[in-house]
Chain A
C-alpha cells in the first residue's frame, strides 16, 4: 500500500510578534527571511525529509504552492537540482489552490500505486502575502512540508482518500495581485470551509466505514482555530482530545503547506496503529485516511516542526518585516552599484552543478576538496582529474567573517567537514553572534532578484539544532 516513507518540514527562523502589527494582538507568526521564499523553504523541507533516504531511489518530485516566484518556470526542477536528485525523474508543479499540496500527495500516491514511480517526493511550500493591516496579514505564516511517498518501508499508509471540488470566490489572487484577496469571513466559513471540508471528511468516513472515534487525530486546514473546532464538533470529533493543534500563535497559516505541516507535527507525536484523518481546503477539499505503521519509530531523525519551532529569532520591528516583503521602497540602490554584472542564463546553466546541489570537486590524485570546482588542482597541480562531491549537506566551521555597513550583508569563509572551503554569505544570524570556529551549515536562499531572474544560491547559517 502506498504511503509516507519519510517526512520533513521547514519553518523559517524568523518570527514576527503580532503585537508589532497591532498592539495587543496575541502570539507570533513564522516569516520567511529577506532571502527566503516558497522555493528556498521547499528545498529546506525536502532536505529535512531526505535525512536517511537514498537520493538515488527517488523517481519524481512534485512541488505545490500558490506563491511560486515564477508564473512561467517550473519550481520542482530548481528543488530537484538543489536536492541533488537524479535527472531522469518526473517533475511537476501543482499550483493555484491551497489544496495543491494534498493534490500533489494524491497524485504521488496514485503514481506509486499505478507503478509509474516507486518513490515520489512531494513538497508544499507557501509564502503568501497579506496586505498591510489586513486580517490575513495577522493570521498568515510561512513554511513548508515534504513527504516521500512510496510503497516499501512505509511509515504511514494512505488507506483511502475522498475529494470534493467546490467553485466559489472565497480566497483568491489574480495574476496581477500582490496580496491575497478575501470575501467576507462569514461567507467563506459558513458557505465554503465548514460545509465543503465537512462533506469531504464525511465522504471519506462513509467510504472507509470509519467513524470519528476510530481516528486518534483530525489534522485539518483552517482559516481560524475556532472554526476548526466547530468543524470537528459538527463531524462528531472531540475538539479537545482529537484535534491536531493548528499552531496559530507560534507558526500561523502557511497556506498550501499548512495541512501538511500539521501532519508532520502530528506524526512527530504519533505511534504505530494510530489512525489520522487529514483534510485540506481550497476550491474544495481533499480528505485522507492514514494509518501509522511501526516504521515511524525509525523515522524520527527529522527537524520537522518541533525543532524548527524552537529555533527562532524575533524580527525587531514591523518596518523590518515590510522591507523584507518589499512593501517599502528602497532608499538607495547600492546593490546595483556594487554589481556590474547581471544574472546571465548561460553561466547559471553551465555552473548548475556548483550552484544548485553545491558540488565541489575532489582531486583524484591528492584528495584535496575544492570549491568552486577547479580544473587544475590547487594542491598537486594535476589537471582535469577530479570527481564531483556534494557540499550542501556538509557541516562546517567558520574560518573568518565580516559584515559591511552599506549592504548589511554578513560574509564569511566556511571550512567543510571532510575538506573544502567556501566564501559565502551568512544569513539568519547577527554579526555579534559569529565566532571563528563556530559550527555552520548550508541553506539554499535567494541571493538577488534582478533582470527577472530569482538567483538562488547557498548561504551559511549557524547550525539549527
Chain B
C-alpha cells in the first residue's frame, strides 16, 4: 500500500514560549525555535538539505527562513494554508524525505501577530471577492454559526452547548497551567468561563484563543537513518489533508453542524496509519481549538466521540489527561494563543514530547500514538483540515 507510514522520523524539535514577545523580532523567535531543534537532534544548520517555512504574515519568500538562520543556499519552500500551515509544511517535508529527495530537512513555523496590530488572528487578506461587497469572514462569527447549527442539529439547547464549551476551556486552562511554554498558565473556574464577556454568542472570552507570538521547528530524516541520531525518535504513521470549497456558503443543502474537512483529513491519516478505532488507539491528540466549540466539533469529526455525543464525553472527562484520549495536553490554542503559521508545528512538538515521555507534569501514561490536527479557515468559507499521526518507535 502506498504511503509514508514508518518511512520518516522526527529527530529533533524546538518551540519558543508563546507570548507577547514585545522584545523579540520574528527572526529571534525562529532562531530560538530552530536552535532548540538543532540541539535536540544533534545537528548543525549546515547539515540541513532543504527546508519548509510556515507563516501567514511574517515573510513571503524562502529567504525569510534562510536570512535569520544563514542557511546555505538550500531549497526552502514557504507554505501558507492559514491555520493548517504548520501541518501542511510538515506533510510536504515528510513526503520529500519519504521519496528520498533529501535526508535531513527542517520545518519552521513562526508568526508574530503582536507586531501586526490585528485585533484578532484569522482576518482575511485573501478574500476572493475584491469588489469587497461580501461580509468579512470574522472567524469568531463563523464558528459561532457552527455552534448555533450544532445545537440546532442535535437538539441541544445552546445554553447547554455553552456549558460544555466552558468545561473544555477549564480543561485546557488546567493543562496550560502545567506548561511553562504556554502564554496563559493560570487555571480558570467553570463560573469564570461562563461569566466572561461575550465576543460572539455563545463564544465568550474564555472560549477563544489569544493573539500571540511564537515559533516552533522540527528536524526530519528517513526512518532508517533516525537511530543514528537518537533512540527516542518519533515515527510518522500517517498524514491527511482535505480542503473545503466554500460549501457552507453556497450549498443550501449543507447542514453546517460539523467540519467535513476534519473528517476527511483524519480518515486519510487513519487509513495510512492503519488506525481502525481512533478513540481506542490514539493516546494523545493536540487539536485546533481556536474556539472551544471547534474542539467540541473536532471530538466528533476526528472520531473520538460518536456524532452528537461529544458533550457526554466532555462531562465524563474522556479528554482530560488520564482520560481515554488526552486532548490538548499542552493547553491547546486556548493557552498558547494562535500565531497562525507556528501553531501546527507547536502542536507536533507536544505530541513528540509526549511520545518520548518528556511532557513533565502533563505526561500521558505510555502513549503509543498521537496526532496533531490543524484547521485553517472557517466552517463558513471552507477551510483546510490537516492531521499528522505520529507514533513512538517499536
A393-422 Cβ-contact flags toward B at 8 Å (1 or 0) = 000000111111111010111011001111
| Chain B contact patch, size range | 35 or more
- Asked whether any CB of chain A lies closer than 8 Å to the CB of B148, the reply is yes
Asked if B119 and A339 make an inter-chain contact with CB atoms under 8 angstroms apart, the answer reads: no
- Among B130-138, B187-195, B220-228, B275-283, the one that faces the other chain is B130-138
- Asked whether any CB of chain B lies closer than 8 Å to the CB of A370, the reply is yes
Please, which residues of chain A bring their CB within 8 A of the CB of B254? 421
- Asked whether any CB of chain B lies closer than 8 Å to the CB of A273, the reply is no
- Asked whether any CB of chain B lies closer than 8 Å to the CB of A70, the reply is no
Which among B125, B148, B200 is the interface contact of A341 at CB below 8 angstroms? B125
Most buried by A among B129, B132, B201, B256: B132
Asked if B123 and A369 make an inter-chain contact with CB atoms under 8 angstroms apart, the answer reads: no
Chain B: CB-nearest residue to A345: B131
Most buried by A among B127, B134, B198: B134
| Chain A contact patch, size range | 35 or more
Bound Cα distance from A399 to B144, whole angstroms: 13
The 4 closest A-B pairs by CB, nearest first: A402-B144, A457-B133, A421-B252, A340-B125
A289-345 residues at the B interface, CB under 8 angstroms: 334, 337-344
Asked if B200 and A405 make an inter-chain contact with CB atoms under 8 angstroms apart, the answer reads: yes
Asked if B200 and A448 make an inter-chain contact with CB atoms under 8 angstroms apart, the answer reads: no
A447-463 residues at the B interface, CB under 8 angstroms: 447-448, 450, 455-457
Please, which residues of chain B bring their CB within 8 A of the CB of A409? 135-136, 138, 141
B29-79 residues at the A interface, CB under 8 angstroms: none
- Asked whether any CB of chain B lies closer than 8 Å to the CB of A347, the reply is yes
Please, which residues of chain B bring their CB within 8 A of the CB of A343? 131-133
Which among B124, B144, B148, B201 is the interface contact of A340 at CB below 8 angstroms? B124
- Asked whether any CB of chain A lies closer than 8 Å to the CB of B312, the reply is no
B352 to chain A, nearest CB (A): 34
Given contacts A344-B130, A347-B130, A403-B201, contact A421 B251 (CB under 8 A): yes
Asked if A406 and B256 make an inter-chain contact with CB atoms under 8 angstroms apart, the answer reads: no
- Among A5-13, A141-149, A177-185, A423-431, the one that faces the other chain is A423-431
Which among A351, A403, A421, A425 is the interface contact of B200 at CB below 8 angstroms? A403
Asked if B245 and A339 make an inter-chain contact with CB atoms under 8 angstroms apart, the answer reads: no
Please, which residues of chain B bring their CB within 8 A of the CB of A411? 135, 138, 141-142, 145
- Asked whether any CB of chain B lies closer than 8 Å to the CB of A355, the reply is yes
Given contacts A351-B131, A355-B131, A406-B119, contact A339 B201 (CB under 8 A): no
Given contacts A351-B131, A409-B138, A455-B133, contact A400 B117 (CB under 8 A): no
Chain B: CB-nearest residue to A407: B138
Which among A344, A369, A402, A406 is the interface contact of B148 at CB below 8 angstroms? A402
Interface pairs (30), CB distance under 8 Å: A334-B119, A337-B123, A340-B123, A341-B130, A343-B131, A347-B129, A348-B133, A351-B129, A351-B131, A370-B251, A379-B251, A400-B145, A400-B146, A400-B149, A402-B145, A402-B200, A406-B119, A406-B120, A407-B138, A409-B135, A411-B142, A413-B249, A413-B380, A421-B254, A423-B248, A423-B249, A423-B380, A436-B149, A455-B132, A456-B133
Bound Cα distance from A341 to B131, whole angstroms: 8
Please, which residues of chain B bring their CB within 8 A of the CB of A355? 131, 133
B170 to chain A, nearest CB (A): 22
Give chain B's interface residues, CB within 8 Å of chain A.
Answer: 117-120, 123-127, 129-136, 138, 140-142, 144-146, 148-149, 152, 197-201, 245, 247-254, 256, 380-381
Asked if B131 and A413 make an inter-chain contact with CB atoms under 8 angstroms apart, the answer reads: no
Please, which residues of chain B bring their CB within 8 A of the CB of A351? 129, 131
Asked if B256 and A404 make an inter-chain contact with CB atoms under 8 angstroms apart, the answer reads: no
Asked if A348 and B131 make an inter-chain contact with CB atoms under 8 angstroms apart, the answer reads: yes
Asked if A344 and B132 make an inter-chain contact with CB atoms under 8 angstroms apart, the answer reads: yes
Please, which residues of chain A bring their CB within 8 A of the CB of B141? 402-404, 409, 411
Please, which residues of chain B bring their CB within 8 A of the CB of A405? 197-200
Bound Cα distance from A278 to B149, whole angstroms: 53
- Asked whether any CB of chain B lies closer than 8 Å to the CB of A378, the reply is yes
Bound Cα distance from A90 to B200, whole angstroms: 47
Given A340-B123, A411-B142, A415-B252, 15 other A-B contacts at CB below 8 A?
Answer: A340-B127, A341-B130, A370-B251, A378-B251, A402-B142, A403-B200, A404-B144, A404-B200, A406-B138, A407-B136, A422-B249, A423-B380, A431-B201, A450-B132, A455-B131
Bound Cα distance from A401 to B149, whole angstroms: 9
- Asked whether any CB of chain B lies closer than 8 Å to the CB of A250, the reply is no
Bound Cα distance from A406 to B250, whole angstroms: 26
Asked if B256 and A400 make an inter-chain contact with CB atoms under 8 angstroms apart, the answer reads: yes
